Each structure stands twice: as C-alpha cells, then as structure tokens.
C-alpha cells in the first residue's frame, strides 16, 4: 500500500482543523448573533479534538447557554396607548413601585420586581395566537401576562389576585385602591378589556366557568397544599396550565419545606416550598394532566444563599412548565 506523503497529511490536518473552527464559528453566529471570542473558539475546538464533546452536541450547548437565552428574549414587548408619552410618564410618577415591567408607547416603568427580559422569557410558553381562546391569570399582580394574552387576541381574560389587600387595610378607605397592584392603571392606559377580580387561589371554586389556558406564574412555591390547589385548577382548565417558579436543581422528585411560622426569623425564610422539576411533573400527573413537561430553565440571582440551593450559591433556578390535559 502506498504511504501517504507527510506533507499532504499535514495539509489535510490543517484543512480539517480549519473546517472544525468554521463549524464552531457558525454556531456562534447562528445562535449568539456574534463572532466567537478567541477563548471560546479555542475552548470548543480543544474539547471536540479531545473527544470530550461531539460536534453534534454544539447546538444543544449553545441553546442552553445563558447568553443565548438572554439574546432571544431581548425584543421588547410594547403596548399601545392613546395617551401621550407625557401623560403616561405622569401616571407612572404617581406610583412608587411596580411588580411587572410595562412598556407603553415606549415609556417603561421603573422600580419593578421583574424585568422585561424575564417576562419575555416567561412569555415564550404562551401560544403566539390565542384567537378565540379564554385565559385565567392566577396571581396576576400588575397583569402584564393578561395584557399580553389580550395582545395575542384572546377573546376572554380573567385576572385574579389577592396580593397586597391585607397591606392596604392600614390606609383610610378613601385611599384604598380597587387593585393595589396597578392592574387598573395599566388597563386604563392601554384601553384593555381584561376583567379583574379580587380572588385568591382558594376562591377559585367561585369562578363558574372554564378556561382554555391558565397562567400560574410565581405562585406554586407560596402554596403549602400544592396538590389540592392544582386539582382545583385542573377542574377549570380545558387545555393547558403554564407554570413558572423557583426549582430545586435535582433530578430526583423532591420538595424542600421551609418553616415560615416565625415571621421574624428571616435566616432561612424563602417561601413555604420549593420543588424539583420531576416533583412538579409528578404532582401534575397525580392531578390528572396527561402530559407534564419542563419547557425551559433560567438562572436568577437571589441576593443571598438559601439552604435549598445545594451548590451553596446565591444563584437559583427558575423553571417554566406546561401541564396539558391531552397529549396531542
């Protein structure tokens, strides 16, 4: 057998290395919308050459990166209003804090608890076209997701919440707001037809109708009896429940319970419960949902270390789930 020329071997090797670097570069361009930094390019090149990862793994790796997730949800969700920008600014100045970030005619609220990027990440689970559909937004707070569903053409939206009503009892009745979470303000600004009711999850039996979709964002970890609550929701949903909340980073079906009986003890205080994705999926199955899946996760800085975060870090994970009554 004729032996290959060493020079040709060298050229072939150089060409293969160039091809590999170009494949990696294309992944940066396609998924991160930028050219690779030298360190990143060399890292993936070395990992593939040493057979620690496969070329076919690159797409999954890039899609699971925080940079990719932040990039695809950078598009601002904007609501239109007949009010002028000056009038909207004046409305916003009357309130000190907001829960949700709202961008109305290009004017964005300040002092919010959730960012527009985080809300866009959550919104990926909600169908883009809700024409002819009905939606129940449980724990709606300022109502961003309700208004988004209206923007996506849902024909019936009911937003419910009980948050902050206890807090405003200290104010004179004349100063108490119908909705202390600013939903009514947003509703007025964007001329929304979302219906709001002062109801908690425990009052959901009072709603004598069913809904195609139920939004259940930032709620589950405040509920000690999650199974009973999710069964109530199951009884009024026709299609799917979309859930988002803090999760334990574990493959096992486990749940962490905090003792919140001493309200003055903040040393370990988080919320009554926090569960792993598999635990939430199992609970959904127990409640009757045929298909329960984890759609996506995102890292979030909590500002301090909590016992349920096994990595001893101040970064926790948020999980985004879809629980469907039917598999098709």
pLDDT 10s digits, 113-126: 888 888 999 999 99
Domain presence at residue 95: no
What average pLDDT score do residues 47-64 get? 88
**Pair 201, 300 in one domain:** yes
* pLDDT surpasses 90 at 248: yes
* pLDDT surpasses 50 at 170: no
**Average pLDDT over the chain, rounded to an integer:** 86
Domain presence at residue 182: yes
pLDDT per residue as tens digits for the range 200-210: 888 898 999 99
**Pair 53, 132 in one domain:** no
Strand partners of residue 151: none
74: confidence class by pLDDT, cuts 50, 70, 90: low
Domain at 224, CATH number = 3.40.50.150
**Pair 50, 132 in one domain:** no
**Would you give the distance in Å from CA 102 to the centre of its chain?**
16
DSSP run (H or E) holding 293: strand 291-301
Domain presence at residue 179: yes
**Pair 200, 291 in one domain:** yes
**Pair 137, 200 in one domain:** yes
The HSE-up count of residue 169 (CA atoms within 13 Å, CB side) is 5
**Tell me, what DSSP letter sits at residue 108?**
E
Domain presence at residue 77: no
**Pair 127, 245 in one domain:** yes
Contact 197/138 with Cβ under 8 angstroms? no
For the beta sheet containing 103-104, the strands, ordered from the edge strand earlier in sequence to the opposite edge, are 78-79, 103-104, 107-108
Domain presence at residue 220: yes
pLDDT of residue 306: 86
pLDDT per residue as tens digits for the range 41-54: 999 999 999 999 99
Domain presence at residue 224: yes
70: confidence class by pLDDT, cuts 50, 70, 90: low
* pLDDT surpasses 90 at 127: yes
**Pair 317, 172 in one domain:** yes
Q: What residue numbers bound the domain in which 27 lies?
A: 6-72
What b/e readout covers 218-244, taking b as 16+ CB neighbours within 10 angstroms?
Answer: bbbbbbeebeebbebbbeebebbbbbb
SS3 (DSSP) at 316: strand
CA distance 190 to 151: 10
**Pair 188, 59 in one domain:** no
pLDDT of residue 290: 97
SS3 (DSSP) at 309: coil
**Pair 50, 134 in one domain:** no
pLDDT of residue 315: 82
Count of domains for the chain: 2
SS3 (DSSP) at 12: helix
Domain presence at residue 111: no
**Pair 140, 53 in one domain:** no
Least confident of 13-27, 104-118, 159-173, 272-286: 159-173
pLDDT of residue 9: 65
**Pair 314, 194 in one domain:** yes
């Amino acid at each position: 057998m004729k032996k290959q020329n060493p020079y040709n071997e060298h050229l072939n090797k150089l060409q293969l290395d160039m091809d590999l670097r170009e494949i990696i570069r294309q992944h940066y361009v396609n998924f991160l919308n930028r050219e690779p930094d030298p360190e990143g390019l060399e890292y993936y090149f070395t990992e593939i050459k040493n057979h620690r990862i496969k070329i076919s793994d690159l797409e999954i790796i890039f899609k699971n990166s925080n940079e990719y997730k932040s990039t695809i949800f950078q598009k601002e969700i904007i609501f239109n209003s007949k009010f002028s920008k000056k009038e909207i600014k004046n409305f916003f100045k009357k309130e000190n804090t907001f829960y949700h970030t709202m961008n109305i005619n290009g004017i964005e609220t300040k002092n919010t608890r959730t960012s527009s990027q985080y809300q866009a990440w959550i919104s990926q689970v909600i169908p883009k076209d809700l024409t002819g559909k009905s939606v129940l937004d449980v724990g709606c707070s300022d109502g961003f997701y309700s208004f988004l569903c209206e923007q996506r053409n849902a024909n019936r939206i009911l937003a419910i919440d009980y948050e902050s009503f206890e807090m405003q009892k200290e104010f004179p009745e004349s100063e108490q707001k119908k909705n202390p979470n600013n939903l009514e303000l947003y509703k007025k600004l964007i001329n929304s037809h979302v219906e709001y009711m002062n109801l908690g999850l425990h009052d959901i039996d009072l709603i004598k109708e069913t809904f195609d979709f139920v939004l259940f964002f930032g709620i589950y970890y405040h509920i000690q009896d999650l199974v009973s609550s999710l069964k109530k929701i199951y009884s009024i949903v026709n299609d799917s429940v979309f859930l988002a909340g803090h999760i334990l980073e574990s493959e096992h079906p486990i749940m962490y319970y905090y003792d919140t009986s001493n309200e003055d003890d903040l040393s370990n205080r988080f919320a009554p419960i926090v569960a792993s994705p598999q635990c939430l999926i199992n609970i959904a199955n127990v409640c009757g949902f045929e298909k329960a899946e984890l759609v996506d996760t995102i890292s979030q800085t909590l500002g301090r270390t909590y016992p349920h975060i096994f990595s001893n870090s101040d970064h926790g994970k948020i999980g985004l789930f879809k629980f469907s009554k039917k598999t098709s």
